[in-house]
Structure 1
Amino acid sequence: FTYLSLCLLTLVSLFIGEYLHLSCEEDSAGWTVKRNTTTKTLTECGDTWGKLRASSCRISYTHPSDSGVYWCESREGATSNTVNITVTAVILQSPVLPVMEGAAVTLNCTTRTPSSLPADFYKDGSLIRTESTGQMTIHHVSKSDEGLYHCTISGYGQSPPSWLAVAASLTLRPSTAQLFVHESLHLSCEEDSAGWTVKRNTTTETMTECGDTWGKLTASSCVISYTYPSDTGVYWCESREGATSNTVNITVTVVILQSPVLPVMEGAAVTLNCATRTASNLPADFYKDGSFIRTESTGQMTIHHVSKSDEGLYHCTISGYGQSPPSWLAVAGELLCHLVVFCPYFISTLLLVSLWRQRSAGKRLTD
């Protein structure tokens, strides 16, 4: 059996003969798994496919006919997000997240029993080349490498298509968008990024480059040795040709509210921490959507058994120091997915998708 890992997207590619477990959220009595395939629509687990147990569904031996769109649905008609599942004999393993220009990326064409078979690789429908080991590496990725890839292995067939995204990226050190006053900040563009520079918009200046009136420029990196509130703004990388990276909103402040970046599951506990640069246990007042909640003597507020009503914009204040920037607390009503086998290449969301691969040759399981 292979190890399971947690991922956060909406596509799953599975080999024929996998064991697939789909589960709705915790405490999900009354929820069931449904699907649409090319032959049947709006069918429930346990009707003509899968084995139903409470709010979970098991497919003991996947077939191509199990390819389709899956979701959780309650008795009242509420639904989760959907998960697109493809069952195939050949899978192309490729990065899910965008690859930075200048980096190297390896695409792996594989079957359920990996054996480094020769594979043909295609981009946007056109043959690129044949690789004897089933792996194709693109060195120094550029924007022109972005596209829809698939592969074929003789005697096994063709993989589902996989989109390779290529993007510029602004990276921060420290890797946080909220900084205390008087911290140092290092901003850099992508690898091999000659011709890229860091720019920003603040409340007093727009479209200014690092090295003009702020920061120290080194190649495609920028260093702010001593941050001030006036450094608060929107930062990005930009090339000579005008291509831009993602933007990052940076806030420089005396007080920071530390809160989860990713959505918190309903029923879980979450702790918000109100801190200064030199202390994290001072008394603090906590607010949600502008309304006072309560004062915590230690500067930490814990919400037990989070519900959707706890979702909102939080901030805190510490007497003598000031107010933190707002932080959005997101609450997810469905479980984050459990994907297996090929994370981060193959993933799903919002259904708990547990997948075990049976290694022993010739062993077949039936629903």
Structure 2
Amino acid sequence: NIHLISFNSTADKPRATLTAQSSVIPVGGSVTLSCSVEGSAGWRFDWFRRDSVFSVAQKIEAGTSEQTVSISEGGIYYCIGRRGDPVFYTEYSAPVTIQKQVLAVVKLQHSWSQIFTGETVTVRCEIQGGEGAPWTYEWRAAKLNTPPTSNEYRIIRATESDSGGYSCRGRRDYFFSEWSDIITLTVSYKPKAKLRADNTAVPVGGSVTLTCSVNPSSSSGWKYYWYRDENSSEALTTQDAVFHSNGQISVSQEGLYRCRGGRGNPVYYTEDSQSVRIGKTVPSKPTVTLQPSWTQIYSGETVTVRCEIQGALSLHYMLFPDVHSAASLTVSPDRVQHFTSDSVSLTCEGNFTEWRVRKFSEDSRLSVCRRMTGSTCDINTSKSDTAVYWCESGSGEFSSAVNITVQSMLLYIHHVLLVIFFPRLCYLLAHSVSPLRCCMKVNLSKRDKKWDIWLKISAVSKSDEGFYKCQYSGRESAQSWMSVEGESVTRATAAKHKEKHSIIIQ
């Protein structure tokens, strides 16, 4: 049997049709392309892509019966249909341009956004997911009249006008990015380093810790450079100090220290810190020597007991009260606590012709009285005169030490002072004690007025020993120690033995 099949024939070749789900591939996403031949069936499809109009077409899929394909790269796409054996091809589809969106990010060359005047800063634009051919960059910043087209924007010697927000975007063939997020730079005045010492004197066999910092504390990235002595421009090395990681060093050598911070490349330096002077201390343990050196002493002999601190420039001589020295020091007015601007005389006594009064102050400085008249040192007191004083003769003899305290006097403010008298007074136990008094001094209408309040202690006993101080209207004096020496005896026993007992006011 013969079957006749009829078919329609057209003179023109059919053309494939290419459609795209979207003309833009989102960041990290893809787009679906569809290819079809209208009015007929049985077709397979080949898929092609060009990087640019002038590049060679690359086949990405061949002979697939699926009408769709998923793509994740930008470019120019087209397709063609084929069927039968021998193969019959349709005309190529019209091209479809697909753009790929990538991400632009602004980054700083370093990790800090707090910038200081004179510093060099580099801002970079990075395109994530856009590797390949060169990009054209655009920059957006308030200061930029002619933005650069490279991926770096370099600020040399920043000024306050460079403060603000910076963003960028990139474009290349069928790739593009949106504007990046804004990064904000803040330019402030050049900072000054700050130096802090945990102690101003190096203990014997130990060290002092120095700490350098830069304000504001929000700034970061600093390295610290250390210097000793005022004119030295050479930074300290590991031979001079022990370096720690948190802006600290430990030093055991005396001198004038300063520091500064530095960061970046080229290095940007802060202003130098204020200098801190570190001195040396001496062993705190004194030694007692006898002169002559023999320890077997006979009644009637003369012996000198000396308290020394070896190797010290800063000396703190202190003899026990019962040691009899060939020299003595008296204070006038006869007390150890004084107001500022008081006139105080320190007089050395003994069988010597040459005298000097030495002073060991609260800041560990040793000095000599410069206002000596014969054997007397005259002082117009100030706060810095709070110190330990003693006399030294030309032949090396010295007296017991005396602690003197000076308190400030402020206008219209009461000051309370516990006044103790010299020389040390001796009393029998059970006698009354009168040389304790509270003295208040106030400046009213440029007239000094004083009120004395006497404290009387009767029937003195060992329990009265201790520190005493005065209080008035919320103010109080420095404290002084009153010690009671001698054995507690009855009146009858004391009268019988006629023993001397003393109350020593220090």
Q: Say which one has the larger Rg.
A: 2
* Same topology, TM > 0.5: no
Range of TM-score over shorter length: 0.3 to 0.5
| TM-score, length of structure 2 as denominator length | 0.27
Q: Which has the higher contact order (CA 8 A, sep 6+)?
A: 1
